[in-house]
Amino acid sequence: MLKVRGVETGYGRLKILRGVDLDVPEGSAVALLGGNGTGKSTLLKAISGLLRVWSGEIEFDGKPIHNRKPNEIVKAGLVQVTQGKDSYPGLTVEENLKLGAHSRNDRDKIKADLEQIYEFFPILRERRKQMAGLLSGGQIQMLVIGRGMMAAPKMIMLDEPSAALAPLVVLDIFRQINKIRAELGTTILVVEQNVRMALLLAEYGYVIHDGRIHIEGKASDMIHDENVRNAYLGGTVVETANA
């Protein structure tokens, strides 16, 4: 469903990504792992159109999407779920959710989807009139996931859903992501530092290091792989194309 081929990009003259290849087949969940400053978020920005791609190609649903406007990419059905800190703290919970459906015009379906999100996350219904800035960390994460789902996406890209959350809350969030996946069949690319959680959710994993994919393989194999741990912790990485 999503194909990334040889993507290079960066900020100003600073090159961050040095040729990234990545595949997310339809219906699957794929994890992109890496420590701070390895290019995870940069890749997400390139895919969602916030950052110009210098060279290489990105294809979604059979059509090239690199260097298209972010709102067109959302319209095509590829939605990035931002980090919790990127909610709109000054808007209410419900306004945040409605913003997620901005690209759609099917009013009745939007209403039904809003109900569905409230079924998934009952706490959001309880607090729907409150400012999003008043939610706890876990609730904000639920809000941004719900907001992403409001676009009725074919595929979502989750940007570190475990960031700055307590372990029990992380467990709960991933359980919800799994539930959404089971019920709606949404394709998922999850970007994480929490290697274990991400690999339990995904079938396939990539480790990005210094702007390149260093390790890729089945999630069930990777979870026991020493190299993955080393790469994540910033230790020496043995160059391997397979695992």
Partner 1 sequence: MLVDFLVVGVSIGLVYAIVALGISLIYSGLDIVHFAHGEFVMFGAFFGLVLVNDSGLNYPISIFLAMIFAGLMGVVVERVFYRRLTSKGGGYTVAGMGMIICGFGMAIILQNIAFLIWGAEGHAINVDFGTPMKIGTVNLPKSYLWILCVSVGLMAILHLFLKNTKAGLAIRAVAANKDIAYLMGINVPLMISLIFGLACGLAAVGGVLIGPINYVQVEMGYLILIKGFAAAVVGGFGSLPGAILGGLMVGIFETLGAGYISGSHKDIYAFLLLIAVLVIMPTGLFGQLAKSKA
What distance in Å separates the CA atoms of residue 180 and residue 113, rounded to the nearest whole number? 12
* Long-range CB contact pairs, 71-77, < 8 A, 24+: 71/103, 73/47, 73/48, 73/49, 74/48, 74/103, 74/151, 74/153, 75/103, 77/151, 77/152, 77/153, 77/154, 77/155
Under the criterion CB under 8 A, does residue 88 sit at the interface with partner 1? Answer: yes
Under the criterion CB under 8 A, does residue 109 sit at the interface with partner 1? Answer: no
Q: What is the layout of strands, in order, in the sheet containing 63-64? A: 14-24, 2-11, 55-60, 63-64
The residue within the footprint of partner 1, chosen from 86, 106, 126, 183 (CB under 8 A), is 86
Q: What is the smallest separation between the CB atom of 109 and partner 1, expressed in angstroms? A: 15
Residue of 64, 9, 19, 13 lying closest to 41 (CA atoms): 9
Q: Quick one: how many helices (H) and strands (E) in the chain?
A: 10, 10
Under the criterion CB under 8 A, does residue 82 sit at the interface with partner 1? Answer: yes
Q: What is the smallest separation between the CB atom of 12 and partner 1, expressed in angstroms? A: 12
Q: What is the smallest separation between the CB atom of 224 and partner 1, expressed in angstroms? A: 35
What distance in Å separates the CA atoms of residue 219 and residue 225, rounded to the nearest whole number? 10
Under the criterion CB under 8 A, does residue 49 sit at the interface with partner 1? Answer: yes
Q: What is the smallest separation between the CB atom of 235 and partner 1, expressed in angstroms? A: 33
Residue of 151, 167, 170 lying closest to 84 (CA atoms): 170
Measured from the CB atom, is 18 or 98 closer to partner 1?
98
Which residues lie across from 59 on neighbouring strands? Answer: 3, 64
Tell me, by CB under 8 A, how many residues bind partner 1.
27
Measured from the CB atom, is 49 or 211 closer to partner 1?
49
Measured from the CB atom, is 74 or 213 closer to partner 1?
74
Measured from the CB atom, is 69 or 179 closer to partner 1?
69
Under the criterion CB under 8 A, does residue 103 sit at the interface with partner 1? Answer: yes
Q: What is the smallest separation between the CB atom of 139 and partner 1, expressed in angstroms? A: 16
The residue within the footprint of partner 1, chosen from 75, 125, 181, 212 (CB under 8 A), is 75
Q: What is the smallest separation between the CB atom of 161 and partner 1, expressed in angstroms? A: 15
Q: Which of residues 118-177 bind partner 1 (CB under 8 A)?
A: 133, 147, 151
Contact 34, 232 (CB under 8 A): yes
In sequence order, what E strands does the chain have?
2-11, 14-24, 29-33, 55-60, 63-64, 78-81, 155-159, 187-192, 204-209, 212-218
Measured from the CB atom, is 142 or 151 closer to partner 1?
151
Under the criterion CB under 8 A, does residue 85 sit at the interface with partner 1? Answer: yes
What distance in Å separates the CA atoms of residue 89 and residue 130, rounded to the nearest whole number? 10
Where along the sequence are the contacts to partner 1 (CB under 8 A)? 48-50, 69-71, 74-75, 79-80, 82, 85-91, 95, 98-100, 102-103, 133, 147, 151
